[in-house]
Amino acid sequence: MNATQTNKIEIIKATTSKINEVDFDNLSFGSVFTDHLFECDYINGEWQKPVIKPYAPFLLDPSAKVFHYGQAIFEGMKAYKDEQDAIWLFRPDENYKRFNHSAVRMAMPEVPEEIFMEGLKQLLKLDEAWIKKGIGNTMYIRPFLIATGFGVIANPSDDYKFMIILSPAKSYYSGEVKVLIAEHFSRAANGGIGAAKAGGNYAGQFYPTNLANKAGFQQVIWTDDATHTMLEEAGTMNVFFRINDTLYTAPTSERILDGVTRKSLIEMAKRDGIDVEVRPVLVSEIVAAANNGSLKEIFGAGTAAVVNPIVGFSYQNIYYELPKLKNSFANQLKENLTKIQHKLAYDTFGWTVKL
């Protein structure tokens, strides 16, 4: 390994690359990682010197507070390579703001913008050969922050580790997605941490999702914790409903994540003349719309999946199949968004940022 320093970041390059061992045509999402990672520790109230180094496991004290009290947050971002081999990020400022919003909610230190953005850019430049061109090829970016301070007393950690890892990716979901509307379990509650990308939010979803999987469904559409009458998110995604020619989605709140893809789709739909209503969406109105034929589409939206159509849902042991549309809003919005992200269409919003 040889070490250099770029913009105050120490760079230790891997002596060999794993890239030739990777089948980029058959990637399993989030299971393959690039040659390097970014790391910066927070110790004694100060951020230390950041470093980019070869991807490898690292040691933590068994009493590290991340293991015992769940201080862990993350983000999901993507980078894209255009036909001229330039690398682009999609709305990274939104991910950065949300990351620090999560940090504040979890009593963790905010990461300075210089560390977050410069670390991300330098890491992507170092491993840019892993970013492949073409629609469907992306580099998934996972920034995360964990509590590394030791001791099992129940209080916030003094020390933290901020890291960024990269994973070349294709589609997050494959095949048809059927969902179960939750009647008992909830993803988040008022006053809780639903609006933060905290690891515990996702751990709490696994058990009810496993139950749904055993019943033949791929995901759960979560309902509100108090009444279970309002539809909120679908699995790990924000969710949209099309009744006739209007799109409906729930407003963000303490329970619902402020999704970057979600807000982008809303802006794109309005630009393209699609009626969008951001308001509470009731289970009863979706069931009624399914019964009278006015429910045309349901689809999830998130960084990993972009847009994921849902073919049907179950509620109170009744399954409702959705119509198969040739010109769906889901496909239209996904195509338009991915073209912007890959620089195959003009970015009228100024969302894309060149590396």
Q: Is the pTM of this model over 0.85?
A: yes
pLDDT given for residue 305 in this prediction: 85
pLDDT given for residue 271 in this prediction: 96
pLDDT given for residue 7 in this prediction: 53
In Å, what is the CA distance from 34 to each residue of 19, 84, 341? 7, 22, 21
Residue among 281, 143, 169, 266 at smallest CA distance from 223:
281
pLDDT given for residue 174 in this prediction: 63
In Å, what is the CA distance from 245 to each residue of 121, 263, 267, 316? 41, 19, 16, 26
What are residue 6's DSSP bridge partners? 9
H helices then E strands: how many in the chain?
7, 22
Q: How far apart are alpha carbons 203 and 206 in whole angstroms?
A: 6
pLDDT given for residue 1 in this prediction: 46
In Å, what is the CA distance from 302 to each residue of 31, 75, 126, 255? 18, 11, 27, 16
Beta-sheet pairing, 87-90 with 138-147 = unpaired
Full pLDDT tens readout for the chain, 355 residues: 444 444 589 999 999 999 999 999 999 999 999 999 999 999 999 999 999 999 999 999 999 999 999 999 999 999 999 999 999 999 999 999 999 999 999 999 999 999 999 999 999 999 999 999 999 899 999 999 999 999 999 999 999 999 999 999 987 666 789 999 999 999 999 999 999 999 999 999 999 999 999 999 999 999 999 999 999 999 989 999 999 999 999 999 999 999 999 999 999 999 999 999 999 999 999 999 999 999 999 999 999 889 999 999 999 999 999 999 988 999 999 999 999 999 999 999 999 999 9
What are residue 139's DSSP bridge partners? 79, 168
pLDDT given for residue 2 in this prediction: 47
In Å, what is the CA distance from 221 to each residue of 9, 187, 276? 42, 9, 20
pLDDT given for residue 5 in this prediction: 46
pLDDT given for residue 323 in this prediction: 94
pLDDT given for residue 186 in this prediction: 93
